[in-house]
Amino acid sequence: MGASDKTGRRKVRHGTFRYDPAELDRVLKQTLSAIEQGKRQIFDIAENTRTELRRVQEELNQVREEVAEIIILVDTQKEIELKARIHLAEVSRNFKIYTEEDIKQAYEEAQKAQLKLLELRGREKLLRFRRDHLEVSLRRLTAIQEKAENMLTHLGTVLNYLAGNLQDLGAQIGELQQLHQLGLSILRAQEEERRRVAREIHDGPAQVLANIVMQAEFVQALIEMDPARAKEEIKSLRDMVRQSLQDVRQIIFDLRPMVLDDLGLVPAIKKYVEDFKCRSGIPVELLVMGSSQRLPAALEVTLFRVLQESLHNIRKHAGECRVTVKLEILPQKVNLMIRDTGKGFDPKDHRDQDEHQGYGLVGMRERTQLLKGELSISSAPGQGTVILVSVPLNGPKS
C-alpha cells in the first residue's frame, strides 16, 4: 500500500502521486494569492513613493525659491557691507575731520553689515545643502517609483499569464485523471459484461445443451426398444435445439447486433425495439426524426447501448408501463430520449439511483462523456423516468 504525506494525499505505487483535484486547486489558489499579495505590496510601495515624491518635489520647489531669494539678499548685503567698509576706511583716514563718535559709529555699522553678510551666507549655504539633498532624494524616489511601476506592470502580466496557464494545467491534469478513471470504468464495464454473458450462457444455452446431450443419449437407447417413442423424443430434441439456437442468437445480438454494423443505428434500434416488445410485452412507441444517415461507429454503439441498458432496466424495475423512444438526428448533434411511465425513483437516493440505473448505464454515461456528450436522468417516485442523451456530431464516421 502507498504511504500518506502530511497533507493526506496518498502515494500510489512506483513512487508517483495520485492526483487530487482539490489539493491542486488549493496549491494554485495559494500561489496566485501569494503573487497577488506581492503585487498589492508593490502597489502600496509605489503609492507611498508617489506621495513622498510629491512632497519632496513641493519642498524642493520651495527651497529653490528660498535659495533664489537669499542669493539676492546676499548680493544686496555684500554691497551694503562694501559701502560700510569704504566709509569706515574714509573715516579712519580723515580722523581730523570726523569725531571719535563718527569713527565709532562707522566701525559699528561696518561690523554690523559684515555680521549680517555672514549670517546670510550661512543661511545660503544651508539652503543650498538642503536643495542638493532634496534633489538627490527626488532622483532616488523617481527611480524607485519607475522600478515599482515597471514591477507592477511585469507582475500583472505574469499574474495573468500564470492564472491562465495554471488553471489550464489544472484542467489538463483533471482531464487526464478523468480519462484515466473512464478507462478504468470501461475495463470494469467490460468485465461486468463478460460476467453477464457467461451467466446468460450458463443459465441458458449451456443448460439446454446439457439437456440435449442427455436427451440424445435417451433417444439412442429408445431407438431399439421403442422406435415410436424415440421419434417423439427426437421431435422434442429438435425443439430444444431450436430454442437453444434462438437463445444463442439473442445473446449474439445483445453483444453486437450485426444489423448495427451492416445497416446502421436506426435499423438496429427498430429491430431491437420490436424484439423487446415481443419478449417483454411492454408497449414501446418509437419515433425517429431527421436523416437516417450513418453516424460515427463509436456514436452508434454508444446510443444503442444506452437504449439497450435503459430498456433492460425498464423491464426489470419499472413495472407495468408504456415506453416512448425518440431518436432525433440533427445536423450538429444527435438526441436520444427514453421515457417510461413506470414506478420511477428518487434520484437523490443514491441507493435507489444505483439500483435503477444499473452498472451498465453508469458505464454508458462515461462513454457518452468520452464523446463530449451529456446523459441526464430525470425521475420521481410514481412519475416514471426520462433518460436523455445528447452527443455532438463532430467525429469521424468510421
pTM for the whole structure: 0.47
pLDDT value of residue 180? 64
Are 308 and 397 in contact by the 8 Å Cβ rule? The answer is no
Q: Which three cell numbers stand for residue 345?
A: 425513483
CA-nearest of 183, 173, 175 to 19 is 173
Q: Which helix (H) or strand (E) holds 328?
A: strand 323-329
CA distance 217 to 221: 6
Sign of the alpha-carbon dihedral angle for 226, 228, 233, 237: positive
pLDDT value of residue 257? 66
Write down the CATH number for the domain with range 257-398.
3.30.565.10
CA-nearest of 272, 266, 273 to 291 is 266
pLDDT value of residue 153? 83
Give how far Cα 183 sits from Cα of 176, 179, 245, 297, 303, Å.
10, 6, 34, 19, 19
Outline where the chain has alpha helix (H).
Answer: 21-93, 100-201, 207-225, 227-255, 258-262, 265-280, 297-313, 350-370
Outline where 226-264 has alpha helix (H).
Answer: 227-255, 258-262
Residue 179 CB coordination number (10 Å): 12
CA-nearest of 243, 250, 245, 251 to 193 is 251
Q: Which tens digits make up the pLDDT trace of 112-121?
A: 988 998 999 9
CA distance 191 to 228: 48
CA-nearest of 388, 393, 389 to 296 is 393
385-392 vs 333-340, strand pairing mode: antiparallel
pLDDT value of residue 351? 44
Are 64 and 131 in contact by the 8 Å Cβ rule? The answer is yes
CA distance 136 to 133: 5
CA distance 31 to 114: 70
pLDDT < 50 regions, the chain: 1-17, 350-359, 396-398
Instruction: Give the CATH fold of the 13-186 domain.
Output: Helix Hairpins (1.10.287)
CA-nearest of 54, 51, 62 to 130 is 62
Between helix 21-93 and helix 100-201 the angle, nearest 10°, is 170
Are 390 and 373 in contact by the 8 Å Cβ rule? The answer is yes
Q: Which tens digits make up the pLDDT trace of 43-85?
A: 888 888 888 889 989 999 999 999 999 999 999 989 998 998 8
Residue 105 CB coordination number (10 Å): 15
List the strands of the sheet with 333-340, edge to edge.
284-290, 323-329, 333-340, 385-392, 374-379
What lies within 8 Å, CB to CB, of 232 at 6+ separation is none
Q: Which residues pair with 376 in a beta bridge?
A: 388
CA distance 389 to 219: 53
Q: For the chain, give every domain's residue range.
A: 13-186, 257-398
CA distance 57 to 51: 10
Cell 429491430 identifies what position?
A: 271
